[in-house]
Each structure stands twice: as C-alpha cells, then as structure tokens.
Structure 1
Amino acid sequence: MNDINNSFGKGSVTRLGGAGGALVETFPSGCLTLDIALGGGLPKGRIVEIYGPESSGKTTLALHAIAEVQVHCVSKLLFCTYMNYAGTITDVHSLLVSPFPFLGWGWESRLEKKLGGNAMLVDAEHVFDPAYSKALGVDVENLIVCQPDNGEMALEIADRMCRSGAVDLICIDSVSALTPRAEIEGEIGMQQMGLQARLMSQALRKMSGNASKAGCTLIFLNQIRYKIGVYYGNPEVTSGGIALKFFASVRLEIRPIGKIKSVKGDEEIGLKVRVRVQKSKVSRPYKQAEFEIIFGEGVSKLGCVLDCAEIMDIVLKKGSWYSYADQRLGQGRDRALQYLKENPLLSEEVEKMVRSAMAEGVGHVGSSYMKLTPPQHEDEDIFHEMQRQ
C-alpha cells in the first residue's frame, strides 16, 4: 500500500476503517415527503436525475433543492481557485474584478457573509425566471447562472466548476437542451446520429469522479421521449442515451396526478404530483412520495409537514378535526394548513418533531409511510437496447 501511495499519491488506496465515516451525507430536497422517500434527502457528491413529462414540476423541484443548499450547506467559495473562460487559473478574489463572462449575478455578498452553500444553474433551455426562483426561496443574487451556447460548453463549464470545489450543487436544465456543437453548426434536417448520447457518455465519465471528490451534487433534469413502433411495454425513454441511467445514484420520476382547485372551485391553483424513486444507490428504491405544487409558490411545505405529521401520529386527526398535543389546528385540511401558516412557530415545532422522528428511524418511517411500488426492471430494457446496438 505504501508503494502504491508513493507512486500514485497519498490516499490512492486506503483501508475503509481508517477512512472515516462511510455514510453518504445528504441535504434537504425542499420537500419533506420526498426526503423521507430518499432516506434523508439528496446525496452529496452524487449524480441525480429528475425526469418526467412537461409541466410536471422538474424545474420547481430543482429550484427548491438549490434554495436548500444555499441555506443549509457551508460555503466553500473561500480558499478556492477557479479556471476562467480563457483557461487560466484565477484566485477567487480576482473574480470580483474580472468574473466569468458567461455567469450572471455576482458573488460579492456571498464572500462578505461567508454563509450558506453555493449553487449553480446551467440554463441550457434559456428560460430561467429570477422572479419565480426568488418566490421559491432561491437567493438569486448569489446564484451562479450559465446560459451556454452548446452542449459541450455547458458540460465543460459544469465540470470545471465542479472540480474547483467552490459549489455544492450544479443543476443542468435540461439534458434534452444540451445541443452538440456539430448539430448547431449543421443545417436543420441533417442526420446527426448519436451525437448527444456520445457527448453525455464522455462528460459523465469525467464528472462522476470529480463530483465525488469535490462533494458536489449534480442534478440533471431530463425529458421523456417515445420509442417508435412499441406496441407492448412502456414506450417512454429519456433523452441523452443510457449513460446517465448508469452513472446516476438516484433517479426520480415525477408525474402530475391531479389538479388543485381554489376554495370556490372555479380556478386551478396547483398540481398534485407523485415522485417515484426509480433508482437509488444510497437508500431503498421504489418508494414514492406525493405532494402539492402551488402555482407561483412552489412545493407546499406546510402540506408536506402536515401529511407526514399525521402519518407519524404527531398530529392527530379525529373525524375532520386536526390537533397537535392539546391544541386544535382546525376542521378540515385546508383550515389546519391555514392555522399552521398563521402560526409559524407552531409549524416549525411540528416540522422539528417530524424530522426528529425521521432521524431516529428513517428506515421504519420510510417503509411505513411511503408507498412501495414494484420494480419496473429498467436495467433489462437497457441490456436489450445495448444488445441491439
């Protein structure tokens, strides 16, 4: 072992017992029910894929994760170096004078506060909405934003930022919008076979190891396509090839399952969505979580807290009345939510009780609360697809 470490560098090989804790650290996703399904939250230093149909809440879920990182993670911006657009190494203080030309929203206040984690959004779709992000709790002034010209530029920037160790979370929105340079420079209608799949495969081989070393979580948002000529089985497939399915430690499928109407019933104000953990290397897979997304506000966090507290018997429901300890919250779910909204200290207390119960036995809570779904054996489809190629 000493010879190998001398040849390849200290820490190339080590005994697991002397390497510290082997547990994967997590951070909140912004949705309590999803945190329980994931066994604690989103894993640090891993690749996460969130996919689903259009307008299902993929970007909303990613923005909530960004907001949580900015609050809960310790900033790594200090004591870091960066590689600027010209390819040269620049120290962090130089960025205040000459920042990345392709990034928006400066970092001066982050350096002054020295608080909170750092997140980056690679907006390949060029549809980033600062007002909506701010409503979801994102610190848009300190959010690092990149709107790349092509897929190679997007992934190279993301990889450099990941290797710098300065960011805790990088979100790529979306894989389908990572257009290869050759496709952009070519004419519309030209046959460009497998360019995006090769691009993703090459990038993920580099980024997976860099993310693990830097402790940076990579979230890839992805869209659904349909296979041609499939009459039996599931015709849906995610774009960008199959490399992301293998490299991702967590794959989340999000789908709308209903609409939320106003009290009067004359207006649709949100969506009821279901997230299924299709793959997880850090917790038990095939769990699912249901929660509400309110238009203009994002995930209903109080709704998640109330649902979890009810299942864990922290909040009791007798008939249509909700109560916590000796205190009545209201008759009906809507009135109970309104009461929690008007009493933030009480809602924080209930949430702490839920998270405490979660920490004591997340496995038991997750198995009893979250619905388990039978595996859909996507690996078999991947194997047959590889055999045909």
Structure 2
Amino acid sequence: ISADMQLDYESDPPLDDAKSLEKVSTLNGAVSQLASDFDRDSNLCLERFSRTRRASVISTGSLKLDLALGIGGLPKGRMVEIFGKESSGKTTLALHVIKEAQKNGGYCAYIDAENAFNTSFAEEVGVDIDKLLIAQPDSAENSLSIVNTLVGGSIDVVVVDSVRTKRSSDPSSGLYKEVTCGGNALGFYSAIRMRTSRRKLQYSKDEATGISIAVQIIKNKLVPAALKEAGLNIGFGKGICHESEILEMASTHGVIVKEGSGYWINGDFLPGKEEAEKFLLENDAVADDICSTMRSQLFET
C-alpha cells in the first residue's frame, strides 16, 4: 500500500483540550441557532432522535395485527392507509382503532365522506359515540380542510372514510373505476399501508355469523421491510373477535395454561375452547388483563 493510499485510511489527529472545547462550543452554538430560527424538532441531539424513532402507538384492537406491525399498533402522528375491496373489514378496523384510542383517554374524529356511518355498529364495536367527533363533508376539499384543522389540535385519531371516488372510464359504457384522490400521493406519504381481503364466511350451526379476513402489511416505514400478514375474524354486527385470538396467543405464550382440551383462565378451568372464548367475551376485565400482559411480553421487552 502506498503512502498516498495509507493517508485515505488515517483518522483525524486527536484534538488538544483547547481545540476540543472550541469545537464543542461551535457545535452547541449552531444547534442553539437552529432551535431559535426554526423549532424544537430541529434539535440535532442523537439521543433525542433515537427516542423519537420509537414512536408511541395506538393498538389496532387485534393482537395478531399489532404483532404483524412489529411495533404494537399504529404510530401516532403518522398517515396510515387501509385499502381493499368492499366489505373486507376496512371500516371495522378503523372503528377498533378509535375504540383503543378512546380507552386511553384519546380524542378521535370520523370524517364520513360517504355519508354511511352506522352509529349502532360503532357502539357495538365499543366506540363511545358521545365523545366522537363526526363530520359529513360535501366535498373532498372540505374533508381536507377539516383534517388540516383537527390534526393541529389535541386529536389522537382522524379517520377519513373514504378517500376513494368513482370515475367513469368510458362515459358511453357506464363503467366506473375507483381512484384515490391525489393519485399516488397517499401511498407515498403513508408510513403504513394495509390491504384487507375477505377469506371466507364463518358459520355457527349452519348460520353465517361473520367473516375471516387477511390484513397484509404492504408498507411499513417503522420496522425493517417485511411483507407480513395477520388473519382476523370479524363477527357480523360485533367487530373483531378478539377473544379467539387472545385465547390462541395467550396459550402459545403461557399466559393461559392449556390442559388437555381445556384452559385455565384466572384460576378457573374451562373444559373447551368454546367455553373459554365465551368466558373471555363475558369478562372484559379478565380479557383486558391478559391482553395487557401479552402486550408487555411482546412489545415492551
């Protein structure tokens, strides 16, 4: 290796105390100037930057989906897109996010661009309608204005249902296709994109009681790129069947003890899966405690 090549690999010479103090002073002055000229978020502190990367989240209401997302839920202050065909669980999932935010004392808003908001269904899911802001704008511009006003305040979740519109592909044929306002902008700026799709109907005693859906994580800026998927069960008029996935995941991680075909839950023995799920459904406090324990194990270690 020549002398010139060796120079490329040499580090800077060590600074003496005077030069080191001068360098630190100059850097602190530049950082202070940035904070003065712009705002607090311009602070170039590595430790603070690392903390902001660990975003606070709001649960989706599904442990399986929270696990697939890798961070325990949807990040606050970020744009999230949920897309899919009709009746594939998009609105149900959005309502569960609102429910989880309200459980933690958050304020939420629902922009009903399709004028199709079902108050009764939202209450069945667990949304507190009395504390939910609901708007039904008559144009996309008004929807945008409402969102711009709300996100600057103390709102935790703003749901816009939906941002898609129908446009004629051939006026003479009467055929329409769905397009997203703004073209590719929503997909580009979204931190997370999730695609929902129906799998099959769920039956109980030859009667359809719900559907199974797949939620595929198409884009996730907050964790290493990986195409992950979560399977959810949705009961008609009820929302996500969280009791079944709590039982499944808690049994896998030892929070609930499975003995033969039965389960030990909170000191009680339930002889079968159906009985265990019914117990969790009827005892919200027990289900919430198990869910909190699971979240501590999965996301806070």
Shorter-chain TM range is: 0.7 to 0.9
Q: Deviations over 1:214-253 (max 9, x none)?
A: xxxxxxxxxx95xxxxxxxxxxxx6332111110111111
Equivalent position amino acid for 1:273 in 2: I
Runs (5+) with no aligned partner, structure 1: 73-115, 191-223, 226-237, 362-389
Matches within 5 A, 1:40-55: 40-55=72-87
Aligned twin of 1:279: 219
SS of the aligned residue for 1:14 comes to: coil
Following superposition, the deviation at residue 150 of structure 1 comes to 0.7
Within the candidate set 325, 337, 344, 2:277 is matched to 337
Runs (5+) with no aligned partner, structure 2: 1-29
In structure 2, relative to structure 1, the CA distance for the partners of 1:296 and 1:19 (3 Å cut) is same
Aligned twin of 1:159: 148
Within the candidate set 27, 45, 49, 1:15 is matched to 45
Following superposition, the deviation at residue 345 of structure 1 comes to 4.6
Distance 2:165 2:203 in 1: 32
Distance 2:284 2:140 in 1: 44
Aligned twin of 1:105: none
Q: Aligned-residue CA RMSD in angstroms?
A: 2.6
Matches within 5 A, 1:48-197: 48-72=80-104, 116-163=105-152, 165-177=153-165, 189=171
Percent identical residues = 34
Aligned twin of 2:63: 32
Distance 1:6 1:339 in 2: 57
Contact between 1:125 and 1:177, CA under 8 Å: does it hold in 2?
Answer: no
Q: Which has the higher contact order (CA 8 A, sep 6+)?
A: 1
Q: Deviations over 1:346-379 (max 9, x none)?
A: 4344323322221344xxxxxxxxxxxxxxxxxx
Which structure would you say has the larger Rg?
Answer: 2
Following superposition, the deviation at residue 324 of structure 1 comes to 4.4
Following superposition, the deviation at residue 3 of structure 1 comes to 3.6
Equivalent position amino acid for 1:172 in 2: V
Distance 2:184 2:135 in 1: 25
Following superposition, the deviation at residue 123 of structure 1 comes to 0.6
Alignment size in residue pairs = 262
SS of the aligned residue for 1:152 comes to: helix
In structure 2, relative to structure 1, the CA distance for the partners of 1:351 and 1:17 (3 Å cut) is closer
Equivalent position amino acid for 1:359 in 2: F
TM-score, normalization by structure 1? 0.61
Equivalent position amino acid for 1:132 in 2: F
More strand by percentage:
2
Following superposition, the deviation at residue 283 of structure 1 comes to 2.4
Q: Deviations over 1:155-196 (max 9, x none)?
A: 111111112x221111010011499xxx9xxxx959xxxxxx
Following superposition, the deviation at residue 316 of structure 1 comes to 4.3
Contact between 1:49 and 1:252, CA under 8 Å: does it hold in 2?
Answer: yes
